[in-house]
Amino acid sequence: MNRLLIILLLQLFPVILMSQGWDTPADKKGKLSPFKFTDETRIVGEKLYLLNCKSCHGNPGKANFINLVPSPGDPATDKIQHNSDGEIFYKVTTGRGPMPSFKNALSSNDIWNIISFLRSFNPKYIQAFQPEIKSAAYPGATINISLLLNKKKDSVIVKLTAISPKIIVPVINAGIKLLAKRTFGMMPVDEDKTSDMKGFAAFKIPKGFRGDTAGNVYFSLRFTDEDKFGAFSKDTVIKAGEITIPQSLVKDRAMWNNVRKAPIWILLTFSLGVMSVWGFIFLVLFKLRDIYIVGEYLDKNPGKEESELK
Amino acid sequence: MTDHDNQQYKDRLEKVASVVLRPVRINNKGFILWMGFLIVAFAACLFAYSIQLRKGLIVTGLRDYTSWGMYIANFVFFVATSLVGMLISCVLGLIGFKWVKPVARIAEIIAIAFAAVAGLVIISDMGRPDRLPYVFMFGRVQSPILWDVTVVTTYFALSLLLWFFPLIPDLAVAKNKLSGRPAFLAKAYEILSFKWVHHEEQYRILHIAVRILLILVVPTAFAIHTVTSWLFAFTPRAGWDSSIFGPYFISGAFVSGTSALLIAMYFFRKNYKFQDYLTDFHFEKLGRVLFLVSIVYLYFNLNEFLVPAYKMKKLDAIHLHELFMGKYALLFWSVQLGGLVIPIIILLIRKMRKPLPLFIISMFVFAASWLKRFIIVVPPQAHPFLPVQNVPAEWHIYSPTLIETAITMASLLLALIIITVLSKLFPVLPVCELAEDEAIADNELLSGIENNSK
């Protein structure tokens, strides 16, 4: 009886796990998009979705998500649509188990664009969005961010200023992070920083940090506290990296290269080997002709001596 | 002029020619029945191939994990067996063993048939055989596949020439002795004998040509099977990742080749009534050769299996466990014991080196050689480096289909057809060489000594 109970419980275990759900902290549930979902945001969101989400979740509405535990689910179904915007935003940002965190891979705007795309599969959805607040800490002001390389070229200096028609003040104690674009997604540079009393912060650039062929690096500065400062990023290109000329792996002669770029030694060994063996084979074939000539000569001149053959 | 003109030589030539040329006929009942059987069976197997050609390799048991199955195992087996031509005429012939003369041509016939079919077997493993020219159009000299294509072709050409050149004097002798055979045969002999008149100058040219071929064929034959082994050993897969695969394959090739030669010799001795030329003495000698090559092969087997089994690296351990105790255990141990260890022990007994016992032993060794190639090729593929997940059950275990088996049978039938045609249209034993030598007298003397010693 006990054993049966255990088996039953074990059977229920994954169900219990699943039914536990994925709770979003109460303060994040109500988070709203800073912009209104439009056709434009949907198109951007679709592109981002296909790149980042499709591999597990499949095409929305097609139920062609992959077979994992827990199931990723089709985003067009109620499984995902019953979440509030804030809940989806939280889940995409933090991730859980096989679902990765997209905190550094996507900007907040990117995630909102994806949510905009997902909501287009829900006819009942009516968007409530946050009226544009440029900064709760500096009401009425626009925040200006400037990024510069320092003289030693080993740090990116960030300057934050709040500008309103009346005053210009430094933004102090603002949590910020700097991301750099790499081949696969955005990579944090240095640790998260807080702006000082003059609105400055410095991010150290690691030694040998690679830029493009001109040394340019694409940076994105974001606030860690988006509730306070809004979900926007300052994207800019700075010549902060080392000049990197991409080296083709198939540039030099190598075993893995095509036949025109085969190592010399193997080209020589192979072709000389084949040529010499087949050269000898043809030499031997010509011996047949010699045998024939000798035979024909003796046929026509029976009784001739050997010396005359040569 | 030459010793080829004296009366004693001519008498001997007549005697040898009468025996050797007797089976050269294609209008007798036995031949027609046998050839008819081969062709009908071959046609049936070709029908199986036509299905594969239409539907693709899906009709075989080959799937994503085991993509090299029976076909490739069969290919390795054919390449291996063809190596006997080199072993007999070159390794033994160049060293100067006179007794190999009557068996050398049989060995070459086996080499020609098996090397020719080996190339075709590869095509049967191709899903798109129409893309075969791509090997030559886009082949990379860095790839062992191109090396393999090159050396198999070269070895086939060399074997064909090594068979043909010593045949020229025999064709000249035989062209006038073909009464009762179709006229085209005499005509073909006339053309192919290249005006041979047994002149010393012609013999000089022939000897140079054969000498060149004998020297060339040694490195080529070593290359053909070493490269075949590299097709496997150049990958990091457990079970193939071995630095001794070259010599391991070569020594195994000598085992399967020698057993094939013994089977063919026994057949020709019985059916072609060649008891006087393929004597107990030759069987005794080749029995010893089989023992020698088997014990060398056993030594390589010991290295190939004991060394990784002592270390038991993760994937090696899985592979070896499958072979020693898992689902391949029965096959593995029957091949290793029945095809190698037990034959070695039996071959130690003198009485077992007589024609009939050797024929039976060789049948076992030959069959085991085929199965051994299967063990080398198939099981390592069942344990890839990446875990096997979420795939259909039929991908896990490779089992050849009926169509696949029929196509494999076709290759064996084709080899038999080639051997039959060559051995029915042309003399199987070297007429002139046997007459030239005191070989027959020697053998009579030797068998006399043997009989006395008992």
| pLDDT tens for each residue of A98-115 | 888 888 888 888 898 899
Calculate how close chain B gets to A255, using CA atoms only, in Å: 6
> Looking at the predicted structure, is the pLDDT value of residue A61 above 50?
yes
What residues contact B452, with CB distance under 8 A and at least 6 apart?
none
Phi, psi of B68 (to 5 degrees): -115, 110
- Could A295 and B194 be called an inter-chain contact, meaning their C-beta atoms sit closer than 8 Å? yes
> Looking at the predicted structure, is the pLDDT value of residue B445 above 50?
yes
> Looking at the predicted structure, is the pLDDT value of residue A183 above 80?
yes
Question: Using an 8 Å Cβ cutoff, are A290 and A298 in contact?
Answer: no
Average pLDDT, chain A: 84
Q: What is the mean pLDDT of residues B11-21?
A: 88
- Write the ipTM: 0.88
Sign, Cα dihedral of B336, B337, B338, B341: positive
- Could B195 and A290 be called an inter-chain contact, meaning their C-beta atoms sit closer than 8 Å? no
Q: Pick from B148, B149, B201, B227 the residue to mutate for testing the A interface (most A CBs within 10 Å).
A: B201
CB < 8 Å & 24+ apart, contacts of B445-452? B446/B281, B447/B279, B447/B280, B447/B281, B450/B280, B450/B281
Q: Of B196, B201, B213, which is closest to A284 when you measure between CB atoms? A: B213
* Cis ω before A70 (30° cut-off from 0): yes
Q: What is the mean pLDDT of residues B60-74?
A: 93
Cα separation values, B19 from A47, A289, B275, B284, Å: 85, 31, 10, 22
What residues contact B168, with CB distance under 8 A and at least 6 apart?
A291, B192, B193, B194, B196, B206
The Cα B396–Cα B390 span in angstroms is 11
Q: Pick from B1, B148, B171, B194 the residue to mutate for testing the A interface (most A CBs within 10 Å).
A: B194
Interior angle at CA B423, CA B362 and CA B42, nearest 5: 75
| pLDDT for the residue B1 | 38
| Partners of residue A66 on adjacent β-strands | none
Beta-carbon count within 10 A of B402 CB: 11
Q: pLDDT band at residue B439, thresholds of 50, 70 and 90? A: very low
Set of chain A residues whose Cβ sits within 8 Å of the Cβ of B197: 294-295, 298-299
| pLDDT for the residue B453 | 46
Quick one: which of B447, B404, B103 has its CA closest to B257? Answer: B103
Which ranges in B92-244 belong to alpha helices (H)? Answer: 93-95, 101-124, 133-138, 144-164, 167-174, 183-192, 200-233
Calculate how close chain A gets to B194, using CA atoms only, in Å: 5
| pLDDT for the residue A132 | 46
| pLDDT tens for each residue of B347-380 | 999 999 999 999 999 999 999 999 999 999 999 9
- Could B142 and A255 be called an inter-chain contact, meaning their C-beta atoms sit closer than 8 Å? yes
Q: Where are the domains of chain A?
A: 20-119, 142-238, 259-309
- Could B141 and A270 be called an inter-chain contact, meaning their C-beta atoms sit closer than 8 Å? yes
Beta-carbon count within 10 A of B312 CB: 11
Set of chain A residues whose Cβ sits within 8 Å of the Cβ of B390: 67
| Greatest mean pLDDT range, A80-94, A118-132, B234-248 | B234-248
The Cα B84–Cα B111 span in angstroms is 6
- Find the domain containing B283 and state its range: 3-453
Cα B153 to its chain centre, rounded Å, is 15
> Looking at the predicted structure, is the pLDDT value of residue B52 above 90?
yes
Tell me which residue has tokens 């992070």.
A177
Calculate how close chain B gets to A95, using CA atoms only, in Å: 24
Quick one: which of A186, A194, A200, A181 has its CA closest to A241? Answer: A181
Question: Using an 8 Å Cβ cutoff, are B408 and B74 in contact?
Answer: yes
Q: What is the mean pLDDT of residues B62-85?
A: 94
- Could B142 and A280 be called an inter-chain contact, meaning their C-beta atoms sit closer than 8 Å? no
Set of chain B residues whose Cβ sits within 8 Å of the Cβ of A305: none
Three-state DSSP string of A86-118: HHHHHHHHHCECCECCCCCCCCHHHHHHHHHHH
Set of chain B residues whose Cβ sits within 8 Å of the Cβ of A283: 212
CATH superfamily membership of A20-119: Cytochrome c-like domain (1.10.760.10)
Question: Using an 8 Å Cβ cutoff, are B107 and B88 in contact?
Answer: yes
Residue B168, chain A, CB below 8 Å: the answer is yes
* Number of H-type helices and E-type strands within chain B: 20, 0
Calculate how close chain A gets to B440, using CA atoms only, in Å: 28
Query: Any idea what the CATH number is for the domain that residue B22 is in?
Result: 1.20.1630.10
- Could B199 and A283 be called an inter-chain contact, meaning their C-beta atoms sit closer than 8 Å? no
The Cα A150–Cα A202 span in angstroms is 9
Sign, Cα dihedral of B41, B44, B50, B56: negative
Side-by-side strand order, sheet with A233-238: A186-194, A175-181, A217-223, A233-238
Q: pLDDT band at residue A133, thresholds of 50, 70 and 90? A: very low
| Partners of residue A194 on adjacent β-strands | A175
> Looking at the predicted structure, is the pLDDT value of residue A16 above 60?
no
Q: Would you say domain A142-238 falls under CATH 2.60.40.1940?
A: yes
Higher-scoring residue by pLDDT: A50, A17: A50
Which range is least confidently modeled, A182-186, A283-287, B148-152?
A182-186
> What's the domain count of chain B?
1
Instruction: Count A/B contacts: CB-CB distance under 8 Å.
Output: 77
Quick one: which of A184, A31, A176 has its CA closest to A100? Answer: A184
Sign, Cα dihedral of B428, B434, B440, B443: negative
| pLDDT tens for each residue of B389-432 | 888 888 888 999 999 999 999 999 999 999 999 999 999 999 98
DSSP-derived pairing of the beta strands A175-181 and A168-170: unpaired
Residues of chain B numbered 348-387 and touching chain A (CB < 8 Å): none
Interior angle at CA B280, CA B439 and CA B161, nearest 5: 55
What H or E segment, with its residue span, contains residue B255? helix B245-271
Set of chain B residues whose Cβ sits within 8 Å of the Cβ of A268: none
Which residue of chain A is at minimal alpha-carbon distance from B146? Answer: A270
Give residue ranges of A with CB < 8 Å to any B CB: 67, 255-259, 262-263, 266-267, 270-271, 274, 277-278, 280-281, 283-285, 287-288, 290-292, 294-296, 298-299, 306, 309
Which ranges in B397-438 belong to alpha helices (H)? Answer: 402-425, 431-436
Which residue of chain A is at minimal alpha-carbon distance from B218? Answer: A277
The Cα A202–Cα B312 span in angstroms is 54
Specify the amino acid at residue B86: M
Q: What is the mean pLDDT of residues B98-113?
A: 93
| pLDDT tens for each residue of B195-210 | 998 888 999 999 999 9
The Cα B400–Cα B408 span in angstroms is 10
Residues of chain B numbered 185-204 and touching chain A (CB < 8 Å): 194-197, 199-202
Tell me which residue has tokens 């080392």.
A242
| pLDDT for the residue A9 | 56
Indicate left, alpha or beta for A178 from its phi (over 0: left) and psi (-120 to 50: alpha): beta
Residue A279 DSSP one-character state:
H
